Amino acid sequence: MLLDKNAQETLSQTIGEQEKRTDAELVTVLAGQADDYRYVTLLWAALLSLLVPVALLFLPVWLTPFEGLLLQWGVLLVLAVLFRLKPVQFRVVPRRLQRMRAAGLARQAFLEQGLHRTRGGTGLMIFVSEAEHYVEILADQGIARHVDDSEWQTIVDAFIARVKAGRVAEGFQECVAACGDKLATHVPATEQKNELPNHLIML
């Protein structure tokens, strides 16, 4: 688990404390990885294995067509397994694709968790995909009309640095506190409500 039980309980308490200062509903979502990227790694393995016959033309060896085919299959299998290893996988999968997959999962989670259905449109989600080092803050219309999306970027950048350092729990605490300060200013509490869960949602 990326956050142990104590860290999750502490985060839930922090969210509850911040929500007393604002009408906003804060939801935290943590995904280990946005996609398995299986098709990308297989595509790379297949493309590189196609270079085997070309490489054999420049090597001082002679193989029968069947031996050459076996070698090509072997290279394909080895590369397919190698590219599934996390440190290698995230070097061959384009960063742009990683961001697209993580952003898509964030928007899906926003809808599935009902942040678009809060009274006054005051849902705010802090989304993290750990493997992609991706962090995004999504705000519903009741918050967006008071706080421009660009204002969350400094908070997001600080959180990304924590994720890259493997300090996800600390990053969540700091992010929730920073969002609470901004929300207390722009969307201060006018009533006490708790429409959405305060516990961390793990995907």
* DSSP characters over 104-126: HHHHHHHHHTTGGGSTTS-EEEE
Using CB atoms within 10 Å of the CB of residue 30, give its burial: 0 to 12 exposed, 13 to 18 middle, 19+ buried.
Answer: buried
What pLDDT is stored for residue 59 in this prediction? 75
Query: Which architecture, in CATH terms, is 5-35+94-202?
Result: Roll (3.10)
Confidence band (pLDDT; 50, 70, 90) for 148? Answer: confident
The answer, yes or no, to whether residue 156 has pLDDT greater than 90, is yes
Q: Which residues pair with 128 in a beta bridge?
A: 30, 135
pLDDT tens by residue, 17-26: 999 999 999 9
> Could you state, in order of their start, the residue ranges of all structural domains in the chain?
5-35+94-202, 38-92
The mean pLDDT of 130-148, rounded to a whole number, is 93
Residue 95 amino acid letter: R
